[in-house]
Chains A and B, each alone.
Chain A
Amino acid sequence: MNPPIIETKDVWKIYGSNGVAVEAVRGIDLAVQAGEFCALVGPSGSGKSSLLHLLGAMDTPSRGEVIFAGRLLAQLSDAQRTDLRAREIGFIFQTFNLLPMLTVWENVEIALRLGGVPLAERKQRASALLAQVGLQERARHLPSSLSGGERQRVAIARALANRPRLLLADEPTGNLDSQNGTDIMKMLRVIAEGGQTVVMVTHDFRAASYADRVILLRDGRLRGETHLEGAPDMQQTVERLFQLGL
């Protein structure tokens, strides 16, 4: 078997605020294979986001190791971790986080720029990415004139810009209605089927049912996991998660 694209070994995240230590992630061992579509589910406050930030080289663990494609993140410099985020890891936020002053097209182009893509290629690729998420008509619009679903599609185009090996999404459907949420999930599934790895945090079982593998977190620990087959089936997903002790 190939080495996992992302792996954690006994990883901890302890926040210290006002002298009170909050153990958000408590000794998690996780390995995600290339091409997997993985959903992290669990109640609010169970440490899902904290874990995702560790996987995305956005935060550093208090203890333990995070290994990206065989590279120990703790041994990388800040600049090297920045490069990883620019080129090898794409991030989709619950709140979209588009740059409000830039047009839809520029929001995608800037990610290509950060990835070091030359200007001529950027122009052509930004347009192609927008076409991929069905927004070529809105290229010149500002994010403020877009609906939530459209904004999240721009964010997906931006996250995919440098063809990252790993795509991380934190509650990507959290701010969307169910129709737009379903569209986004279908899009993520197509991306995973195309060979990119997707790790998604959600507390929405419908969203989780699109994944191949659902991992349950509670109180900062892994509580079990289940593999899903066939078409997305929310009923089946919920039943499996209850069996894990949800």
Chain B
Amino acid sequence: MLIDLALKYIWRRRGRALLTIFAVAVMVQLHILANSVLSTYRQDIQRQLAAFAGKVLVQRLPEDTPEGAASGNFVNAHSSLDLATADALLDLPGLDAQASSAVLLAPLARSPMPDTTPALLLVGITPGRETAYLGVFQSAAGALTLPDAHSAILGAGAAEHFAAQPGAQITLLGQAFTVAGVLEAAPSLFNNAVLIPLETAQALLGREETVSAVILTAAQVEDMPGLQAQLAAQYPALQAATNEEMLRSAGTLMSQLDSLSSAITATAVGVGVVIIMIVVVQAVLEQRREIGTLRAIGAHHWRIYSLVLSEALVQSLLGAVLALPIAVLILRLAVGWDKFTTLLPTWLESIGLAALIGVLASLLPAWQAVHINPLEALRYE
């Protein structure tokens, strides 16, 4: 192998090599960024759907709601049920009453990404039935029950937003509330939630006659299919979604996310390949005489290939190494998210991607280099 020679050639044009490495790093960090953000989002959706296992969410969407509008998105601001229907639903047999409740949902602050959980989500819920919404999640501080009309339970993210602990006062829509408890860290639907009593929420929002949805929990898991069948028969106009159905419709959104991230990755690879190819083609032009000399003194084609491949690979791999700190910096500074569990695996995957970039980029210059004749060594002037 002629890797040592390749390193020396790169060193000889280190200014250009640095620019190349930086350009590749920017491309690879694009892949890391897109993948980390999208797969973190994906995990969040999956975890919150998992939190709804064993529950049925009953909503009534307006006629003109586009197909899949609710996909992966539990909160639907357009859903509306009248109180009589809600009460009738809650009277169905075989329910775990404690874990079933009507809810009124209203976004208080928008999310930076479209079609995702609002940054702050107001959840009106019947006091004593908080677990209908909170499910398996535990308290980080205080109690997860609403003791009076002007008390609130905050998700961890919401608590951070208000900088509030149990006992603190917060103001929602002009009304003061006392924080009763704070939830442990959880998916965004819970993390961003602010739970207050249902009637208080209805009064504040001017929606005394309606709720957004009803969350039903079967007393026995085996009763779920029966409950669903009953809902379908008695309330054909309502949408009753279990987490399996939500999961299925979320699949559409997730596959869109996947194709988006694939498109970004493909662009990053394509541009990376072109950048390195240009640089290595130029390098081979400059090395013609030396490559000719190597051929004249007995270097096989594969050695010339390995020389060119090494030049491409060293630059693409160094680019991938540099991409991680760039991605972390951008995520920290621009987006402010520091909980990217998928950053490291994505980066490791990027190393493989960089290897692919190097191999693809070396094909054209290697083909040119391999065809350099030993007599090129003797052409001077």
Residues in chain A within 8 A of chain B (CB atoms): 49, 53, 56, 58-59, 78-79, 82-87, 91, 93, 95, 97, 99-102, 106, 110-111, 114-115, 158-159, 162, 170
> Is B301 within 8 A of A101, CB to CB?
no
**What B residues does A87 contact at CB under 8 A?**
298
**What A residues does B356 contact at CB under 8 A?**
none
Partner of B375, one of A53, A82, A159, A162: A53
- Give the contact-size bracket for chain B: 20 to 34
> Is A158 within 8 A of B301, CB to CB?
no
> Is A115 within 8 A of B5, CB to CB?
no
Question: Which residue on B lies nearest to A96, using beta carbons?
Answer: B293
In the bound complex, CA of A159 to CA of B297 (Å)? 8
B378 on interface, CB distance cutoff 8 Å: yes
**What A residues does B303 contact at CB under 8 A?**
114
Residues in chain B within 8 A of chain A (CB atoms): 2, 4-5, 8-9, 11-12, 289-290, 293-301, 303, 374-375, 377-378, 380
In the bound complex, CA of A101 to CA of B4 (Å)? 10
> Is A82 within 8 A of B298, CB to CB?
yes
> Is B298 within 8 A of A93, CB to CB?
no
Partner of A83, one of B295, B298, B375: B298
In the bound complex, CA of A82 to CA of B298 (Å)? 5
In the bound complex, CA of A100 to CA of B303 (Å)? 18
For the residues of B in contact with A, the DSSP-based class is helix
> Is A85 within 8 A of B9, CB to CB?
no
> Is B374 within 8 A of A111, CB to CB?
no
Question: Which residue on A lies nearest to B381, using beta carbons?
Answer: A95
Question: Which residue on B lies nearest to A100, using beta carbons?
Answer: B290
Partner of B296, one of A49, A58, A162: A58
**What B residues does A53 contact at CB under 8 A?**
375, 378
> Is A111 within 8 A of B5, CB to CB?
no
* CB proximity of A127 to chain B, nearest CB, Å: 18
> Is B374 within 8 A of A101, CB to CB?
no
**What B residues does A101 contact at CB under 8 A?**
5, 8-9, 11-12, 290
In the bound complex, CA of A83 to CA of B299 (Å)? 8
Question: Which residue on A lies nearest to B11, using beta carbons?
Answer: A101
In the bound complex, CA of A223 to CA of B66 (Å)? 95
In the bound complex, CA of A56 to CA of B373 (Å)? 13
> Is B380 within 8 A of A95, CB to CB?
yes
User: With contacts A110-B294, A158-B297, A162-B298 known, what are 19 further pairs, Cβ within 8 A?
Assistant: A53-B375, A53-B378, A58-B296, A82-B300, A85-B296, A85-B298, A86-B299, A91-B297, A97-B377, A97-B378, A101-B5, A101-B8, A101-B9, A102-B5, A102-B8, A111-B297, A114-B297, A114-B299, A115-B298
Partner of A99, one of B290, B374, B380: B290
* CB proximity of A155 to chain B, nearest CB, Å: 10
26 chain-A/chain-B pairs, Cβ below 8 angstroms: A53-B375, A53-B378, A58-B375, A59-B374, A59-B375, A78-B301, A82-B301, A83-B298, A85-B374, A86-B297, A86-B298, A97-B296, A97-B378, A101-B5, A101-B8, A101-B9, A101-B12, A110-B2, A110-B5, A111-B298, A114-B299, A114-B300, A114-B303, A158-B297, A159-B297, A170-B378
In the bound complex, CA of A162 to CA of B297 (Å)? 10
